[in-house]
Structure 1
Amino acid sequence: MPAILTSRLSDAAALPKVDQDLRSLMDAFAEVLGDIGEHGVATRLPWPREGDTLVTVDVERVNEWPEDPADPLAERCVEARSIAFQLLHQAEENALAQSRRRVESEGSLEADSGSWEYVLSRLARDGWTPAEIADALGTVRVEPVLTAHPTEAKRSSVLHHHRAIYRLLVDNENTMWTPGERAALRDETKAGLERLWRTGEILLEKPTVQGELGIVLYFLGEMFPQTLPWLDRRLETAWRRVGFDPALLRDPTHRPRVTFGNWVGGDRDGHPLVTPEITAWTLEQLATTALDNLRDRLGKLAAGLSLTTSRQAVPPALTTRLTRMAQALGDDAQAALERNRGEPWRQMVNLMIAALPTPSGPVAPGRYRRPRELLADLELLGDTLSAIGARRLADRDVGAVHAMVRTFGFHLASLDIRQNSAFHDRAVAQLLVAGGLDGAGFADWDEDRRLALLETELRSPRPFMHDGTRAGPEAASVLGCLRVVARRIQERGPDGLGALIVSMTRGLSDLLAVYLLGREAGLLTYPDGVACCPLPVVPLFETIEDLQHSAGILDAFLSHPVTRASLEQQRRDAGGSAPRQQVMIGYSDSGKDGGLVASQWGLYRAQADMIAVAERHGVRLRFFHGRGGTISRGSGPTHRFVRAQPPGAIDGEFRLTEQGETISQKYANVVTAAYNLELLTAGALNATLRGRRAGRNGHALAPVMERLAADSRARYRSLLEAEGFMDFYAQATPIDVIESSRIGSRPARRTGQRTLQDLRAIPWVFAWSQSRFLVSAWFGVGSALIGLRDDDPDAFERLAACKRATEWPPLHYLISNAATAWATADPRIMRRYAGLVEDEALRDRLMDLILDEYERTRVALEAIYEGPLSETRPRVHRVLSLRAPALAPIHARQVQILDRWRRLRADGKEYEADRWLPSLLQTVNAIAAGLGATG
């Protein structure tokens, strides 16, 4: 989703700036193309000028491409448009950033929904005191989890070039440049554009997990350390502007905590390349980056703390600690002490550097084993500075390093381990057989029989087999990974390890099976005769049916003695006041399974039910939101998404995935990254405080939402279950091209079967987006709403009035997202792709069904918005209409080549067909760039 759609500032303040920056970038791009002899491409760039205005209608001269698909000019035009869409995104991003800065300079950001100033001012208005808000801030922990699902269609080198061009765009905002300096900036921009053009966007080889981790490490190791100080300053500025006492923020326990998670190298669900060796290597790479950054930051701290004993007395606590550290480190301490004689604070930091551990293996004597040990020394350093009156140095210099350690520790990001419950079933079956038991059919046993075996086995620490015995491929894979985890915990504790996540959790046995596998790998302990796991075992509820059963499964899980013992151990290790259970909820598969309304309402209701269960058990829940980059997979404006959660769902802690292209869209530049993290942290604070006061009785429109969810799901399933649907989908979308692409290391299907159930939600959505159907984001909405209007006009009007007044955030979020998705769909382009369906009767039957629902959705949404969406939602219309004419010829070319490619493959001419694949992938990249999302 383009960033311009997510900010309330964009209407009046940002849109003129978009035109200005886009004109500048496109002029520079056209000059570059002309200079290197690409005149035919230069004259076909989108958004040509007429005077000083960008033309946003379909202009024949720029869309007159060669009819022959083999003409190289047409392919180069596609690539140029892909770049042009990225430049448009950068112009929008910069316009929003500059708009926010201008508004803040001129007055207040209180109008920027979701910002710190907006949230703090409204909390104060609604009766919370600054002290209460500061106390709540200390409970807020936000954790974006970076993933490398196959949704990023751009090469890493291309991402680097785009970031460089954006930085030049921001540099150009400096009003102090001389004409010569400004000309130099423009020349550098043109050089960046030439690099981009000459690089090309097609991935020549399928990415490796190592390559994907390299991209993630850039954000974790470079971008986020630069961003977090900006986030702190934005909070401090907003705090002062609303009139709160700055002294309240000096206490680190009054600051929100931002940490990061990572799935690359740990997410094993349907990913055969994530081996135990890859997981071990990933942990080492994360630790290496974190420790290198920390060593560098401590070195700079030491250089600044050159306070001498001749100018101030040394507090005894510092002297005592220096002596003890030197004794513990032995010979390693000598160089640190001798280098800066008479500068004890500097010596202390030198010893801290010497005490940092190595990235892997057992920790040497005298070295820090856990980050909290370094934090204790930093707090001592700050306290002794404050004791001599140097509080400013304590707050600014030491405080910055303290914040860095709190965020990144020695591990940079927590690595989750995810695997599918069906894979675990096969592993358990193999272990049972290897142990001489009748367990080959474990996966097919009923729940009672499965639980009986698991309960019996978990009472004993005895493993099924000795180390080295190979029970089978699934067992070897799972146990190999868990042994890596167990060894890591033994050597340096659980820091840097996230959760053991079970995809497709269907019952209690799926979770207890992880405990059993953990026992086999040496991960479980039996301190009081009861099995205990040091890492949280986390259910992932994904389908509509699983969400409906989630509260019952969670209740049984929290009642189990192994879970209770494990949560207590995890609480003690984390120093928490109450046990906390994490639960992951999936937006992708629930959307694929039931459509938009059933998914979003099912997720809302499941969270509310699970909150009630956790409260009965005295456990706090930490929901982990598995969102993707499109509306079908849970995407939408961040501040609205946070508000749309049920009361109590965000009780301080908030975890969510950031997938594929959304990472670069949100976090590739410091100002934008700080703003997106601000939306998460400020939103979490707001939800935490308001959730603690809110009741749990539910909204008056909840019964209406139940009906809409059921009706929309029935309509949506009628499409998916229609005769011939998979044939229609396979031919009317480029799903076969996506499965042949090289945009992710993970296979598009879990097991390789060509069924709807086996197809991952990401390529499912990606294909619908490419062909502009987007059915999973709106199909069924219209029929459900019109059925409500016809059967219960009063209920429909209450719902419409509630949406117009934005009184209930879940409803507002749902309807707004459906309207945006409907507007992004395009019947003219749908028909082009449907023309590829060979069975004319099938094509007509399903297109009639889709277009009928499209019209119903238009009628229903216009009744709610009280007018045409192009008029009642002008910003969305403007953003989409700017992109539509530029996308049209790319869609036409994709359809043309797709038809030829498929015919060649059908005739057995694979070699000739393969020659067309790069051209097809180029159209995929360009359309994804134009829409701002893939899967």
Structure 2
Amino acid sequence: MDHTSSQSLQQFRNLVGIRFQLYNSLFTSLPFHKIEKTGILLSLLSSNCEDGYKKNQSPIQIIEEFFSKQTAYVNEQEKLDLLFRFVQYAERQVVLFDALEDSAFREVHDMNGVGTLKHLESEIIRTEKQDELAKKLEDFTVRLVLTAHPTQFYPGPVLGIIHDLSKALADNNATLVNTLQQQLGRTPFLKKEKPTPYDEAVSLIWYMENVFYPAAGRIIAALKGSFPHAVGTENPVFQMGFWPGGDRDGNPFVNTETTLRVADSLRGSILKCYYLDVRKLRRRLTFQGIEPLLIGLEKKLYDNLFIPGYRSHLSKEDIVETLEQVRKIIIHEHNGLFQHLVESLLNKVHIFGVHFASLDIRQESGVHTHLFETMAESNYIVPADYPRWPEEKKISFLSTITETADPSLFKDDVERDTLECVAAIKTIQQYNGADGCNRYIISQCNSAANAMEVFALFLLAGWKKDEMNIDIVPLFETIEDLKHAAAVMEKLYRDPAYREHLERRKNFQTIMVGFSDGTKDGGYLMANWSIYKAKEELTRISREYGVDVIFFDGRGGPPSRGGGKTHRFYASMGRNISNKEIQLTIQGQTVSSNFGTIDAAEFNIGQLLNAGISNDLFVSRNTILSDKETELLQQLAEAGFDSYKQLKNHPYLTDYLVHASPLRFYNQTNIGSRPAKRGKSSGISLKDLRAIPFAGSWSQLKQNVTGFYGVGSALQKLEKDGRLDELKKLYKESLFFKTLLDNCEMAMMKSFFPLTSYLSRHKQFGEIWQMIYHEFELTRQYLFKLSGHTELMQDYPIDQLSIQMRERIVMPLVTIQQYALTRIREMEEQLVTSPLRPVYEKLVMRCSFGIINAGRNSA
């Protein structure tokens, strides 16, 4: 470990580890029933868990032994009451730990170290690459797209308390910390009703206003400060995207009214930010000739915000024009005094416009196909035999539609909304600008016709071809779809109507690739490699047709869903993969863990900017995988896929998850508006199950299958083929391969098999448990062979310690959850009807909150 890492680790121990122990004692003053006793007993339960798992006891044995030895409780209801108090107590411990990590961020992370924006600036100056930077920044952007996927359990009020608590901890204000913890004690963590898509949007807009708005201003100011001529106004270096209210895929609760309401809220929120900044400017810019300009701008903003029903066409250009006039007067008449304040606001206006974040529309391809088939049934605009046409004929027809469809003629709500939504995009653009809503993402896109059906939707909604300022974005996720993605895009590039559309969009084509369903479908190695290969092929075919392809990565929180050390993946891409922009989804607990504070957001956005810019400016991007390395990774992926398929195709896999994990209770947690599975069937099938509850269930089981399964088997197979030395060399020389395995280690670090070892003896599910455990041990063995390490995550000591501490906090919760699940199964197997069953089910769900929140750094 180098000196800097050692210093940071010591800072983490002092500022997070030791302070957690100190401030945890303040919990005894929280307004909980029998709080002192609860704290002492929870500590005893935690010790019992550690000792019990060492003795190979099951969760039910550990809990029963705890009650018999440490308490006098005999009544089952009394026992349950205590377990609920434990959950409540542990939830607050997790919040305290979150806040401590947030408050210590700047001291623990090297804000100027390798991989940061500051380091990039120094490297550009050292190598005199200012001109290359200016060229790169003509069209390079990092776009973060906030999604509402349900992997974050904190309700809005709790997030606000964490924010305030972090500040109080950073200021060492023990009195305020104590007060905020008392507030936390009285603030419910459980949502009685599911949030609506609009509720989800409001929660994320809080981050937009309080984190991304100031962080973006800092980042652009830093870049312009060092390279004033490199950062222009035409291309914002940083952008935000937004899915809540626009993402319809599998969410029946999103409709056109929601979309328009969310777009209006985004506009209102950014205008509020500008309004507050203009008021601050007026306190400093009290100079002659400036005050009338600022008063006029303030009034326009005020009228749009606070006069009911009033909404003028205040545009980004209007605001920029006024601020530019102010800036010129300051420069020419007032010696540039406070010029930096005006430029700071101008930077933000150029980034956020009057839309704040671009609202993406997303829908599953089958919905569009069904709409056209419905129209064909009644021979309405679409010919009756359309469903039977070959794809080429469909594509040709879809681009020639001239009639406008009447949405009111459609009885089905989803079909009607599909047409109304496309028409509503015009309304959004009218008030929020063209950037307010200009992308339509097609989930499960597996043909060129799927994309052309969306093109035709806009024609049906009254859009003219020459005014269609919309990016049609295919989303490829499954292993098969990724394999055929290049062929699908080539067919689109060859179509004259689509080529004309691309020319109007300056020959840029955005393509989304998704990690979550890919991992669920093909396992960890095959999913990641399939995405890499698909990007290579899509880059090649796009360049062949003169198209600049932009990749939009659908990444989740945990490594199994594309998370982990994300910036390192972007830094590892070679020139054979397009690097026009970095676009990725930020979802669930990743929002609060990586972008929960201004410091964290500035640091992590800076790392992404560094990765994207460095890849073009410095030699690392000249290095691409050799043919031999490509063949080696292909063999690894195939071997990993073969291993994963054996587990995936096991006849009892879904039953195992339903039996052992809280999967069946996901829909009852009220953490997100989206159902846990696609389709309307009553049962649970692996095909319909969404990737989030699939990965989340493994996470709560502490088995994290989607983050490592197949890796050990693949490495073992290649060793048997005599290729271990090649793998070691690849691990040392390929950042892509090392990052892949580093993230795998993160998933494994959060696994704990003693929790479920009792299932190893289960008549039906013992075989599955043994398969998973064997693969875990095999993977760990081979990772150590490659790295030479003796511990998981040895290269990341701070993350390693953070996970260890969080896992210790959460140990009683996973034990209680397994205890409750066992009790429920016993009632089902014995056909017992008990009034306490709903209580046990609620206990399972309550434990989920703390377990998932505690895993914020990898899920």
The 5-angstrom pairing of residues 874-889 of structure 1 reads: 875=797, 878-889=801-812
Aligned partner of 1:22 in structure 2 is 20
**2: distance between equivalents of 1:501 and 1:646?**
26
**2: distance between equivalents of 1:700 and 1:18?**
45
| 1:867 to partner: Cα distance | 4.2
1:895 to 818, 822, 828: 818
AA at the equivalent of 2:820:
I
SS in 2 for 1:468: helix
Aligned partner of 2:464 in structure 1 is 525
Q: CA contact under 8 A between 2:745 and 2:792: conserved in structure 1?
A: no
| 1:407 to partner: Cα distance | 1.8
Correspondence 1:413 to 2:357:
yes
Cα pair distance change 1:17/1:187, threshold 3 Å: closer
Aligned partner of 1:307 in structure 2 is 287
| 1:381 to partner: Cα distance | 3.6
For 1:385-412, what per-residue CA distance to the aligned partner results, in whole angstroms no more than 9, with x for missing partners? 3334633543x13211211111211111
Aligned partner of 1:826 in structure 2 is 752
**1: distance between equivalents of 2:623 and 2:40?**
61
Cα pair distance change 1:491/1:208, threshold 3 Å: closer
Correspondence 1:289 to 2:269:
yes
Aligned partner of 2:200 in structure 1 is 212
Q: CA contact under 8 A between 2:629 and 2:730: conserved in structure 1?
A: no
SS in 2 for 1:625: strand
SS in 2 for 1:539: strand
**1: distance between equivalents of 2:586 and 2:432?**
28
Correspondence 1:661 to 2:589:
yes
The 5-angstrom pairing of residues 497-646 of structure 1 reads: 497-522=437-462, 524-527=463-466, 533-571=468-506, 579-646=507-574
Cα pair distance change 1:7/1:756, threshold 3 Å: farther
| 1:59 to partner: Cα distance | 10
The 5-angstrom pairing of residues 845-860 of structure 1 reads: 845-860=767-782
Cα pair distance change 1:642/1:8, threshold 3 Å: farther
Q: CA contact under 8 A between 2:401 and 2:459: conserved in structure 1?
A: no
**1: distance between equivalents of 2:38 and 2:8?**
31
AA at the equivalent of 2:774:
D
Q: CA contact under 8 A between 1:429 and 1:441: conserved in structure 2?
A: no
**2: distance between equivalents of 1:699 and 1:120?**
34
1:797 to 725, 729, 739: 725
Aligned partner of 1:926 in structure 2 is 850
Q: CA contact under 8 A between 1:650 and 1:684: conserved in structure 2?
A: no
For 1:880-932, what per-residue CA distance to the aligned partner results, in whole angstroms no more than 9, with x for missing partners? 44344443332222112112234546748486432333211121112223333
Correspondence 1:718 to 2:646:
yes
Aligned partner of 1:842 in structure 2 is 764
For 1:662-701, what per-residue CA distance to the aligned partner results, in whole angstroms no more than 9, with x for missing partners? 1112222222222222222222222343489626675641
Q: CA contact under 8 A between 1:833 and 1:895: conserved in structure 2?
A: no
Q: CA contact under 8 A between 1:271 and 1:747: conserved in structure 2?
A: yes
2:710 to 780, 784, 798: 780
Correspondence 1:761 to 2:675:
no
Q: Structure 1 residues 137-146 or 696-705, which shifts more?
A: 696-705
| 1:510 to partner: Cα distance | 0.5
Cα pair distance change 1:439/1:915, threshold 3 Å: farther
1:868 to 790, 794, 805: 790
Q: CA contact under 8 A between 2:759 and 2:769: conserved in structure 1?
A: no
AA at the equivalent of 1:219:
Y
For 1:708-766, what per-residue CA distance to the aligned partner results, in whole angstroms no more than 9, with x for missing partners? 11110111011010122222222122211223221111100111332111100000000
**2: distance between equivalents of 1:562 and 1:910?**
64
Aligned partner of 2:144 in structure 1 is 144
The 5-angstrom pairing of residues 241-260 of structure 1 reads: 248=229, 252-253=232-233, 257-260=237-240
Q: CA contact under 8 A between 1:113 and 1:639: conserved in structure 2?
A: no
| 1:853 to partner: Cα distance | 1.5
Identity rate, percent: 24
Aligned partner of 1:311 in structure 2 is none
The 5-angstrom pairing of residues 240-279 of structure 1 reads: 248=229, 252-253=232-233, 257-279=237-259
1:386 to 331, 340, 353: 331
SS in 1 for 2:738: helix
Cα pair distance change 1:264/1:834, threshold 3 Å: farther
Q: Structure 1 residues 723-732 or 643-652, which shifts more?
A: 643-652
| 1:934 to partner: Cα distance | 8.1
Q: What is the RMSD computed on CA atoms of the aligned residues?
A: 3.4
Cα pair distance change 1:12/1:55, threshold 3 Å: farther
**2: distance between equivalents of 1:376 and 1:691?**
41
**2: distance between equivalents of 1:697 and 1:880?**
33
**2: distance between equivalents of 1:662 and 1:759?**
22
**2: distance between equivalents of 1:501 and 1:588?**
16
**2: distance between equivalents of 1:122 and 1:716?**
43
1:917 to 819, 838, 841: 841
SS in 1 for 2:573: coil
AA at the equivalent of 1:221:
E
**1: distance between equivalents of 2:343 and 2:224?**
14
**2: distance between equivalents of 1:630 and 1:140?**
27
AA at the equivalent of 2:27:
F
| 1:157 to partner: Cα distance | 1.6
Aligned partner of 2:377 in structure 1 is 433
Correspondence 1:671 to 2:606:
no
Aligned partner of 1:694 in structure 2 is 622
AA at the equivalent of 1:224:
F
**1: distance between equivalents of 2:653 and 2:52?**
36
Aligned partner of 1:40 in structure 2 is 37
| 1:75 to partner: Cα distance | 1.8
Cα pair distance change 1:32/1:610, threshold 3 Å: same
Q: What's the TM-score once normalised by structure 2's chain length?
A: 0.89
The 5-angstrom pairing of residues 350-361 of structure 1 reads: 350-353=295-298, 358=304
Q: CA contact under 8 A between 1:151 and 1:762: conserved in structure 2?
A: yes
For 1:408-439, what per-residue CA distance to the aligned partner results, in whole angstroms no more than 9, with x for missing partners? 11111110000001111111111222334787
AA at the equivalent of 1:401:
L
The 5-angstrom pairing of residues 66-465 of structure 1 reads: 66=67, 70=77, 71=79, 72-100=81-109, 109=112, 112-123=113-124, 127-172=127-172, 185-232=173-220, 235=223, 239=226, 248=229, 252-253=232-233, 257-308=237-288, 344-353=289-298, 358=304, 370-388=315-333, 390-394=335-339, 396-436=340-380, 445=388, 449-463=390-404, 465=405
Q: What's the TM-score once normalised by structure 1's chain length?
A: 0.82
Aligned partner of 2:741 in structure 1 is 815
**2: distance between equivalents of 1:136 and 1:188?**
47
AA at the equivalent of 1:894:
Q
**1: distance between equivalents of 2:133 and 2:429?**
36
Q: CA contact under 8 A between 1:652 and 1:685: conserved in structure 2?
A: no
AA at the equivalent of 2:157:
S
| 1:512 to partner: Cα distance | 0.2
SS in 2 for 1:264: coil
**1: distance between equivalents of 2:553 and 2:568?**
14
**1: distance between equivalents of 2:459 and 2:216?**
39
Structure 1: tracts of 5 or more residues without a match: 1-5, 173-184, 240-245, 309-343, 572-578
Aligned partner of 2:57 in structure 1 is none
**1: distance between equivalents of 2:514 and 2:658?**
25
Cα pair distance change 1:131/1:30, threshold 3 Å: farther
2:428 to 466, 484, 488: 488
SS in 1 for 2:475: strand
| 1:122 to partner: Cα distance | 4.1
Cα pair distance change 1:124/1:493, threshold 3 Å: closer
Q: CA contact under 8 A between 2:525 and 2:711: conserved in structure 1?
A: yes
